[in-house]
A and B are shown apart, each in its own frame.
Chain A
Amino acid sequence: MPGFFREPARRVFAKELKDSNLTSKDENDQYAPQYLLTPTGANVNRIFIVGTLIEKEDIGSDSEYWRGRVSDPTGSFLIYAGQYQPEAAQFLAECEIPAFVAVIGKTSTYTTDDGNVLTSIRSESIQQVDELTRNLWVLDTAKQTLERIRAVEAQEDPNSKLAKEHYSIDTEIYREMVKKSLETLKDNT
């Protein structure tokens, strides 16, 4: 449909998102979405994660502002939900931890005083799911990450090239990450 395009929710493991620090935005348009380019060349605006909610805390002062930590086989994501994400905030307020959750949200970044970039997810939706869904997500994310690694190695598209140029990281690190994630699924049998 012309004029409207829904951002696909990218599949990225926690470790890779944590390593990401290259943001981009169309400066001429204040409503333009912000993107975060990951080391394997995923250009993330929206993200879909499934993992285990292991911590939650209301860090708001006046109104509720919830922060949660969701772990996957490679690390953990920080997720936030405040008054502008009422459904997600309500979920975090009411849920028991630990729990398997599926989170759809937008990535945001924060640069600390000493120049570190912290990545987090502003939740649009959080739902409790089962272990199977979590495993399906690990397999899905592994598959998509491997495809991106291949693209970076082959320098297939502009995002791959930019990722390689900016991060100059050995893709083997991420292959290893994918492998470990897949092995956790193997253990479950």
Chain B
Amino acid sequence: MKQTAESIRERFMKIGIDVPVEDIESRLDELIKKFKVPSNEAQRSVTNYFLKKYSIPKNEFYVRQAEPQLTKIVDIVENGQWANLNAKVVQLWENTHESISQVGLLGDETGIIKFTIWKNAELPLLEQGESYLLRSVVVGEYNGRFQVQFNKNSSAEKLTEPVIMGGGDFTPVAREAELRNIADLSGNQWATIRGKVVQLWENSHESIEQAGLIGDETGVIKFTNWASSELPVMEEGKSYMLKNVVVSEWNGKAQVQLNRSSSIEELDEDIEVRTSMFTYFGAMVDIQTGSGLIKRCPECKRALVKGACAEHGKVKGEYDLRIKAVLDAGTSTQDALINRELTEELSGISLDSAIAMAADALDPGVVQDKLKHELVGRYYTVTGHKLDRYILVESIIPSTSLDRELLDQMLSEHLAEQEVE
């Protein structure tokens, strides 16, 4: 307590006021011992008391603190602690929330730490690579890690001398993720992969630039290239090197996402993709609503419901033909999505004739009915990639002959058992 009292006295001495140390001590003593006030609160309260007594404006007093106590990043160990740092802005991240002005990493010779500058702190923007004296930042804890946050009381002053980083310069570009096989990818890591774009999907959301499947010799994985990553688009059937992609897991399956740190390089070679194709044999037992002649949003290619897109509202749709089928093997069922090309081939109904049929009947539902008549109740073998509960059908073959071999085999096995008895 004696020490606390001394430090308060020293601070007042600096502005030319000699406060008797006994006065400070007795006030501190009363607060801490009698009123059980925590010592840092008591210190502040006592300081404020004397500021008032000598009518010193609070702002003036605190700003006049000439040399701030500097904290090293490695010493940030307490949630709620206030600190002053000499640090370099190592990296600025993409802003994820409107109430945040800037977010990124700060570093000094002892370590790096995440920082967040809130909009309401009203601070000028920090520049990546520059060093600053950062006053009155608050230490917070999130997901078990410390970070510093800037608020209205914080300030940033650019330093002419750059802060030297510990352990060499930490620069994100210098770190390139390891090249990995697609089959070995699992959640929450950075990776570099090379593969062939097996399939590009209809875009389901405007924030997505491209999504689809990419494969190498070991397997196939879903990829998402976000519009915000500002990367070039890829073409189906071409091979690429995707550097610094993030592997995440969804519904127990790994997928890769491209962001601003990622890059796409087209490769000259043609990568052979190990097909993780899925084949299913069964009877088509249903064609679900949303099959037949449908309209899609011209923006995002989503199927329209009652002429409206879930994302873009009322739009002038583009006609398409597809089948959402249910195949059934007797012990399991499988949903299958059949695209326009295969639907036309399978049913003999072209998109144009489907449009004509619908116009004739004043009802697009006739196309779906016609498909049901033609296809339901028959046996098919479908092959394609599996996505969630659907097979994205790449080939669908109607059964055109009885499996004589199976028939003979079943009969002979059966008869054999009869003879034994």
- Residues of chain B contacted by A124 (CB below 8 angstroms): 286
Asked whether any CB of chain A lies closer than 8 Å to the CB of B378, the reply is yes
Nearest-Cβ distance from residue B25 to partner chain A, whole angstroms: 67
Pick out which of these stretches binds chain A: B66-74, B85-93, B401-409.
B401-409
A-B contact count (CB 8 A): 97
* Contact B377–A50 (Cβ < 8 Å): yes
B410 touches A142 (CB 8 A): yes
Out of B331, B369, B401, B414, name the residue touching A179 (CB < 8 Å). B414
Chain A residue contacts of B377, Cβ below 8 A: 48, 50, 101-104, 125, 127, 129, 133
- Output the nearest chain A residue to B378 by Cβ-Cβ distance: A133
Beyond A104-B376, A125-B376, whether A143 also contacts B406 by CB under 8 A is yes
Interface centre among B283, B326, B372 (most CB of A within 10 A): B283
Number of A residues with CB within 8 Å of any CB on chain B: 40
A185 touches B285 (CB 8 A): no
Q: Mark A1-26, 1 if CB is under 8 A from B, else 0.
A: 10000111111000000000000000
- List residues of chain B with CB within 8 A of the CB of A102: 283, 376-378
> Is A146's CB under 8 angstroms from B285's CB?
no
Contact A185 B407 (CB under 8 A): yes
In the bound complex, residues from chain B placing their C-beta under 8 Å from that of A189 are 404
B224 interface residue per 8 A CB criterion:
no
Instruction: Point out the residues of chain B lying under 8 angstroms from A101, CB to CB.
Output: 377
**For the complex, what is the distance from the CA of A87 to the CA of B376, rounded to whole Å?**
13
Bound CA–CA A144/B330 (angstroms):
8
Q: Annotate A45-62 by CB proximity to B: 1 below 8 A, 0 otherwise.
A: 010101000000000000
B414 touches A182 (CB 8 A): yes
Partner of B401, one of A87, A132, A143, A178: A132
In the assembled complex, which residues on chain B have CB atoms less than 8 Å from the CB atom of A103?
377
Q: Is A175 an interface residue (CB 8 A)?
A: yes
Q: Are the C-beta atoms of A144 and B331 separated by less than 8 Å?
A: yes
Establish whether residues B389 and A186, one from each chain, have CB atoms under 8 Å apart when the complex forms. no
In contact, B333 and A132 (Cβ under 8 angstroms): no
Contact (Cβ within 8 A) B415 A179: yes
Residues of B within 8 A of A182 (CB): 407, 410-411, 414
Which A residue sits closest to B415, measured CB to CB? A179
Residues of A within 8 A of B331 (CB): 8, 144
- The verdict on B400 contacting chain A, using a C-beta distance below 8 Å, is yes
B324 CB, min distance to chain A CBs, angstroms: 13
Q: Is A143 a contact of B376 with CB atoms below 8 Å? A: no
Contacts of B407 in A (CB 8 A): 139, 182, 185-186
On chain A, the residues within 8 Å of B389 by CB distance are: 1
A97 within 8 A of B: no
Q: How distant is the Cα of A128 from the Cα of B399 in the complex, in angstroms?
A: 16
| Bound form: Cα–Cα A178–B418 in Å | 12
Instruction: Report A-chain residues with C-beta under 8 Å of the C-beta of B328.
Output: 8-9, 48
A96 contacts the other chain (CB 8 A): no
Smallest Cβ distance from B346 to chain A, in angstroms? 15
Would you call A185 and B402 a contact (CB within 8 A)? yes
- A9 and B411 contacting across the interface, CB-CB below 8 Å: no
Query: Contact: A127 with B372, CB < 8 Å?
Result: yes
Kindly supply a per-residue 1/0 record for chain A positions 149-189, scoring 1 wherever the CB is within 8 Å of any chain B CB and 0 otherwise. Answer: 00000000000000000000000100100110011011001
Tell me whether B372 and A125 are in contact (CB under 8 A): yes
> Given the complex, which residues of A lie within 8 Å of B97, measured CB to CB?
none
* Shortest Cβ gap from B215 to chain A (Å): 25
| Complex partner residue of B400 from A46, A132, A146, CB under 8 angstroms | A132
> Is there an interface contact between A136 and B399, defined as CB atoms closer than 8 Å?
yes
Contacts A10-B330, A48-B328, A182-B407 given; indicate if A146 touches B376 (C-beta within 8 A).
Answer: no
A140 with B330: CB separation less than 8 A: yes
Q: Which residues of B contact A8 (CB under 8 A)?
A: 328-333
Q: Distance in Å from the Cβ of A33 to the closest Cβ of chain B?
A: 14
B60 within 8 A of A: no
Contact partner, B330, options A1, A9, A125, A178, Cβ 8 Å: A9
With a cutoff of 8 Å between Cβ atoms, the chain B residues found around residue A186 in the complex are: 407, 411
In the complex, the answer to whether B378 meets A183 with C-beta atoms within 8 Å is no
Q: B410 near A146 (CB under 8 angstroms)?
A: yes
* A108 interface contact, C-beta 8 A: no
The residue on A at minimum CB distance from B283 is A48
**Is the CB of B118 closer than 8 A to any CB of chain A?**
no
Instruction: Spell out B's residues near A (CB within 8 Å).
Output: 283, 285-286, 326, 328-333, 369, 372-373, 376-379, 388-389, 399-404, 406-407, 410-411, 414-415, 417-418, 421
10 contacts between A and B (CB under 8 A): A1-B388, A8-B330, A9-B330, A87-B372, A104-B377, A125-B285, A135-B402, A140-B283, A175-B414, A185-B402
Q: Which 10 A-B pairs have the closest CB atoms?
A: A102-B377, A127-B377, A11-B330, A9-B328, A6-B333, A104-B285, A127-B376, A136-B379, A129-B377, A144-B330
* New contact pairs (16) apart from A6-B326, A125-B376, A182-B407, CB-CB < 8 Å: A48-B283, A48-B285, A48-B328, A48-B377, A102-B376, A102-B377, A103-B377, A104-B376, A125-B377, A129-B378, A132-B399, A136-B402, A139-B406, A140-B379, A175-B417, A179-B415
